[in-house]
């Protein structure tokens, strides 16, 4: 198993970072939250989880070991694959997920795209004794719940856009974020923002 990759950030895309390791570019699937911390040309270290399928080898990257561990534990629940586990971590921090499971918070889980009411109930049952107790204090809430503008802006800057372009793109998708209500999906907003920037060019 590849436990982590460490090297220079060679490229960034809406859901992938390319890390140069010993002359080889490793494509790593990451959440928008993790991508927003990376900058092209700078050194980075990502905890990773390799998912092996018959037709593919996919490397998923995380800000730290705790996030990777939760990603792997989530997949022990039936019906949860790597993409859904990553979507859960895009919306909630590991501690926010632990808190949601320990307090049987269905609403928190249904905030994740692809999880309905029944799915949330099933996950709460299956994950109850697997994720453990929250390790942080009450302040460890979902990153996307507050500051989606800052996250989105940082992600766009990380992708190489100028500050003014990033400001305009954030303003362009703000109505979409507000219409969604609750917790905006930063990944979805990032795709919409990139579309507005491509049209402007």
The average pLDDT across 95-99 equals: 91
Residues β-bridged to residue 11? 18
Q: What is the pLDDT of residue 1?
A: 74
Identify the bridge partners of residue 56 per DSSP, sorted by sequence position: 53
Architecture of the domain spanning 146-200: Orthogonal Bundle (1.10)
* Superfamily in which the 65-127 domain is placed by CATH: 5' to 3' exonuclease, C-terminal subdomain (1.10.150.20)
Average pLDDT, integer, range 104-120: 89
Domain ranges of the chain: 4-62, 65-127, 146-200
The mean pLDDT of 52-80, rounded to a whole number, is 92
Q: Please state, in angstroms and rounded to a whole number, the distance separating the CA atoms of residues 54 and 7.
A: 28
Q: Are 17 and 30 in contact (CB under 8 A)?
A: yes
Query: Would you say domain 4-62 falls under CATH 2.40.50.140?
Result: yes
Q: Which of 53, 81, 71 is nearest to 3 (CA)?
A: 71
Q: Would you state the pLDDT for residue 85?
A: 93
* Calpha distance 178→167 (Å, rounded): 16
pTM of the model: 0.68
> Which of 67 and 179 is assigned the larger pLDDT?
67
Asked if the model's pLDDT at residue 103 lies above 80, the reply is yes
SS3 at position 134: coil
Range with the lowest mean pLDDT among 8-12, 84-88, 145-149, 167-171?
A: 145-149
Residue 81 CB partners (closer than 8 Å, separation 6+): 75
* Res. 20: pLDDT tops 50: yes
């Amino acid at each position: 198993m590849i436990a982590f990759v460490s090297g220079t950030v060679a490229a960034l895309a809406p859901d992938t970072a390319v890390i140069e390791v010993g002359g080889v570019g490793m494509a790593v699937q990451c959440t928008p939250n993790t991508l927003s911390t990376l900058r092209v040309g700078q050194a980075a270290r990502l905890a990773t989880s390799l998912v092996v399928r018959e037709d593919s080898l996919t490397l998923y990257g995380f800000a730290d070991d705790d996030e990777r561990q939760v990603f792997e534990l989530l997949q022990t629940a039936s019906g949860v694959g790597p993409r859904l586990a990553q979507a859960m971590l895009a919306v909630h921090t590991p501690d926010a997920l632990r808190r949601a499971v320990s307090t049987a918070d269905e609403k928190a889980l249904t905030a994740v795209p692809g999880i309905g009411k029944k799915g949330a109930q099933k996950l709460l049952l299956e994950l109850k004794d697997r994720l453990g107790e929250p390790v942080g204090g009450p302040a460890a809430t979902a990153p996307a719940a507050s500051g989606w503008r800052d996250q989105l802006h940082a992600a766009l800057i990380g992708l190489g856009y100028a500050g003014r372009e990033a400001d305009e793109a954030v303003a362009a998708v703000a109505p979409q974020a507000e219409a969604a209500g609750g917790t905006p999906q930063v990944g979805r907003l990032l795709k919409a923002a990139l579309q507005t920037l491509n049209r402007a060019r």
